[in-house]
């Protein structure tokens, strides 16, 4: 029998080992995290306390903001802590937890994007039946299904990943990411590595086809709208969502496929930043940039905050 030492911790080598850069990395991550925190909490607050926004589209947008907060909170604070303490180590259990919660938030995020595409499909292609189909109960059930599906997927994915034997503990990333963890697997674990990647890619591909089909039908319906104002309103609600989907899928595809081609670690880190760090910062801006209802609700809430006590604010519907 061969002796194999069990890995008790991993070393994160995503950024430069130069000590002088660690304070700069800490400041950069701190600014990014605070901006994402402020933007997403603001969207959640505006949607909760604005009665005019108690509709399915904004209910799902609030869930999306919660997922963005969760995904960036899993990776960035740990990187800030390592930069501040000038260390690269993360315990085995800490790495497992980071992978689990990251997969949980990212998987549920991806599923929710499909649900939001279906919501836009129903609103534009079946407007007469939209209110009867997309009721409060239906929206809550769909959102619950999104979170439960993400939880089940995270349990299965994380469990299969950490059943393999590791021959190294050096991760070329600033957080525990499955593709880079699988690169540390011993040769006899190659089948598990291939299975984990193939299952994830297959599910993502099938779901992506469903999203594309929904938007093909949406754009066909939008082009049939006679008024230019109606077309502009429909595109203003669909295009930001479609942009978020493509940004998420393209960056995620590069993240999971780049280890197969032995790409440079610097490129992998940059792609992962666009995949896990940039979306929580950009999504609130993308969804509010051309959304007059959300901006109007924000200014109304800001005015009411100046004159009303918080106990007099309206209760949440969703």
Q: Percent of the chain, pLDDT > 70? A: 80
- Evaluate the CA torsion angle 10, 16, 18, 22 in order and state its sign: negative
| Model confidence at 191: pLDDT above 70 | no
Look at residues 94, 111, 173 and name the one whose alpha carbon lies nearest to residue 146: 111
| Residue 200 exposure: Cα atoms within 13 Å on the Cβ side | 27
Cβ(95)–Cβ(10) under 8 Å? yes
Cβ(81)–Cβ(33) under 8 Å? no
- Highest-confidence segment of 22-26, 35-39, 157-161, 303-307: 35-39
| Model confidence at 246: pLDDT above 50 | yes
Q: What is the pLDDT of residues 63-102, one digit of tens each?
A: 999 999 999 999 889 888 888 887 888 889 999 999 999 9
**Span 229-256, mean pLDDT?**
70
Look at residues 168, 199, 172, 206 and name the one whose alpha carbon lies nearest to residue 184: 168
**Span 137-148, mean pLDDT?**
94
Q: What is the dihedral of CA 308, 310, 314, 317, to 10 degrees?
A: 160
Q: Per mean pLDDT, which range of 109-113, 161-165, 231-235 is the poorest?
A: 231-235
Mean pLDDT of the chain: 79
User: pLDDT tier at 4 (50, 70, 90 boundaries)?
Assistant: very low
Q: What is the pLDDT of residues 35-61, one digit of tens each?
A: 999 999 999 999 998 888 888 989 999
**Span 286-294, mean pLDDT?**
77
Q: What is the pLDDT of residues 195-221, one digit of tens each?
A: 766 776 777 777 778 878 877 888 887
pLDDT for 146: 93
CATH superfamily of this structure's domain 9-312: Rhodopsin 7-helix transmembrane proteins (1.20.1070.10)
pLDDT for 193: 60
The residue ranking higher by pLDDT, 122 or 302, is 122
**Euclidean distance between CA atoms 63 and 69, whole angstroms:** 10
| Model confidence at 183: pLDDT above 90 | no
| Model confidence at 225: pLDDT above 70 | yes
Look at residues 229, 230, 212 and name the one whose alpha carbon lies nearest to residue 221: 230
pLDDT for 29: 87
pLDDT for 207: 75
pLDDT for 255: 65
- Evaluate the CA torsion angle 207, 209, 215, 220 in order and state its sign: negative
**Euclidean distance between CA atoms 197 and 260, whole angstroms:** 10
| Model confidence at 313: pLDDT above 50 | no
Burial letters for 232-251: b for 16+ Cβ neighbours within 10 Å, e otherwise?
A: eebbebbebbbebbebbbeb
The residue ranking higher by pLDDT, 183 or 58, is 58
Cβ(256)–Cβ(203) under 8 Å? no
- Where in the chain are the domains? 9-312
Q: Percent of the chain, pLDDT > 90? A: 19
CA angle 205–209–215, rounded 5-degree value: 145
Strands (E), 62-171: 89-91, 170-171
């Amino acid at each position: 029998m061969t002796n194999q030492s069990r890995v008790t911790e991993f070393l994160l080598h995503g950024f430069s080992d130069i000590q002088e850069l660690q304070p700069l990395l800490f400041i950069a991550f701190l600014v990014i995290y605070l901006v994402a925190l402020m933007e997403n909490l603001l969207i959640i607050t505006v949607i909760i306390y604005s009665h005019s926004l108690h509709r399915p589209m904004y209910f799902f947008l609030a869930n999306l903001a919660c997922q963005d907060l969760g995904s960036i909170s899993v990776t960035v604070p740990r990187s800030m802590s390592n930069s501040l303490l000038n260390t690269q180590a993360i315990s085995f259990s800490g790495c497992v937890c980071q992978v689990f919660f990251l997969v949980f938030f990212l998987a549920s995020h991806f599923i929710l994007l499909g649900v939001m595409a279906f919501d836009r499909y129903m609103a534009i292609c079946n407007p007469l039946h939209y209110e009867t189909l997309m009721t409060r109960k239906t929206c809550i059930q769909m959102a619950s299904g999104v979170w439960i599906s993400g939880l089940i997927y995270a349990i299965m994915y994380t469990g299969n990943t950490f059943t393999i034997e590791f021959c190294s503990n050096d991760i070329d990333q600033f957080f525990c990411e499955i593709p880079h963890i699988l690169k540390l697997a011993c040769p006899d674990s190659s089948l598990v590595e291939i299975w984990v990647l193939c299952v994830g890619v297959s599910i993502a591909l099938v779901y992506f086809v469903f999203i594309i089909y929904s938007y093909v039908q949406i754009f066909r319906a939008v082009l049939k709208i006679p008024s230019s104002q109606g077309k502009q309103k429909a595109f203003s609600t669909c295009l930001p969502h479609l942009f978020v989907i493509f940004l998420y899928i393209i960056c995620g595809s590069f993240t999971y496929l780049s280890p197969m081609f032995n790409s440079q670690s610097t490129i992998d880190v940059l792609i992962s930043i666009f995949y896990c760090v940039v979306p929580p910062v950009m999504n609130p801006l993308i969804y509010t940039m051309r959304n007059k209802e959300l901006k109007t609700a924000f200014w109304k809430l800001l005015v009411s905050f100046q004159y009303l006590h918080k106990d007099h604010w309206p209760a949440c519907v969703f």
